[in-house]
Amino acid sequence: MSLRKNKVPRRVYLDYAATTPVRREVARAMAPFFVNEFGNPATLYRLGTAAYQAVSQSRTAVASALSTTPDTIVFTSGGTEANNLALFGLGRQTPPRFRHLVTTAIEHRSVLEPARQLQKEGWRVSYIPVNADGLVDPRQVLRVLRPTTALVSVMQANNEIGAVQPIAEIGRQLLKFRRTNSSSYPYFHTDACQAVSYLELAVDKLHVDLLSISASKLYGPKGAGALYIRRGVPLLPLLMGGGQEAGRRAGTENVPGIVGLGAAVTLGVTERDDVVQRMRALAGWFWNQLRKQFPGVRLLGPPPGSNRLPHNLNIIFPDVEGETLVLYLDRGGISCSTAAACASLAQEPSQVLSALGLSNQEIAHAVRFSLGQSTTRQDLNYVLRSLNTIQRIFKHGSAAS
């Protein structure tokens, strides 16, 4: 094949769960707002009002993707800020008798670390365990609720193992609990950063009060995201100053980023059904090939189906350590991950995989492939060939030791 002698190194990106490229359509929508339409949305002249209108349009687009109204959308610097705003914003506004937070063992660190900080500030935090597939049982949530619970935060879809949580069911249970206790507490937050391209996210059907999204995971720009805040949910802003975002997030708006988020969300929702089908078929085929060619491989997380994001394959490779695989595959232009991108910086075993009951030894053999828009069967065949080569080297010990 001519690719072997290709001067341009081949690039196969299989880490869409870490971040996505910006789609051309999205980059095109953003472009005018860097140079020509650079106005500050808070100003009164046409340049400013044009920027204000662009931000408003994006707000409408994001609201419509979540089946809600624009006044419930606050733009942030990404999923991390949205999650921090949900936990700290609500936490710092909560009367002292509500100092109990319920979350799960497999949240993104932008939920877990604020939870730990609240703990340091005197909160009680309950971490719900997950089953061996990484799924939360709604009954476990009910079991830990108390009249003092202020907030429940359960992610919609997990970034490492693609587990899709029963958010609507948990939401229904929480509504019942509130009704029984005639209380507006606990509020319900979900981190939906991984979900927008693959799952329907109608906030009323999910019964959530707060929902986080990130443009960086849906073919939009990095550094842009949003938090849905149901009307009437009390939040103290993290950033105070100029009163932007109806006083909920001060600072001159990231107009190009917000425009990019709006464009990306609209495209993502429009194409969702097709993308889900395509990803499911492609990932299913890849997994079957892996199983055939590498006896002993294990898929971590829920089996393929409605409880799993269609593009995510987190796999244990018995013969080679995950980190070694990632580095060897990278030599062939293939990008994949051992764990959440942020967790690999921290160099500790993935908490998510630990929560599944895996040993550190097993965790060391896990590799995550996350497919996306540009992934083809040829790409995956190339990965399979590369994996074969690496496995051969390691099985026969020439590169081991």
Ligand X SMILES: *Cc1c(COP(=O)(O)O)cnc(C)c1O
Nearest to 66 by CA among 246, 256, 196, 260: 196
The answer to whether residue 312 forms part of the interface with ligand X (CB under 6 A) is: no
Q: Which of 106, 145, 191, 358 contacts ligand X by CB under 6 A? A: 191
Min dist CB 126 to ligand X, Å, is 20
For residue 122, how far is the Cα from the chain centroid?
28
The answer to whether residue 149 forms part of the interface with ligand X (CB under 6 A) is: no
The answer to whether residue 161 forms part of the interface with ligand X (CB under 6 A) is: no
The answer to whether residue 194 forms part of the interface with ligand X (CB under 6 A) is: yes
Nearest to 256 by CA among 11, 36, 60: 36
- Measured distance CA(63)–CA(72) in Å, rounded: 7
Residue whose CB is less far from ligand X, 216 or 350: 216
Task: Clarify whether 342 is annotated catalytic.
Answer: yes
Provide the b/e sequence for 119-144 (b: ≥16 CB within 10 Å): eeeebeebbbebeeebbbbbebbeee
The answer to whether residue 372 forms part of the interface with ligand X (CB under 6 A) is: no
Q: Which of 193, 255, 258, 320 contacts ligand X by CB under 6 A? A: 193
Min dist CB 103 to ligand X, Å, is 13
Provide the b/e sequence for 328-346 (b: ≥16 CB within 10 Å): bbeebebbbbbbbeebbee
Min dist CB 162 to ligand X, Å, is 11
Residue whose CB is less far from ligand X, 326 or 340: 340
List Cβ neighbours of 90 (8 Å cut-off, separation of 6 or more): 150, 151, 187, 189, 210, 233, 234, 235
From 342, 346, 399, 400, active-site residue: 342
Residue whose CB is less far from ligand X, 108 or 311: 108
- Measured distance CA(20)–CA(112) in Å, rounded: 23
The answer to whether residue 216 forms part of the interface with ligand X (CB under 6 A) is: yes
* Residues in 223-252 that interact with ligand X by CB under 6 A: 225
Do residues 215 and 264 make contact, with C-beta atoms less than 8 angstroms apart? Answer: yes
Residue numbers at the binding site for ligand X (CB under 6 A): 78-80, 83, 108, 110, 155, 159, 191, 193-194, 214, 216-217, 225
Point out the residues that are catalytic. 342
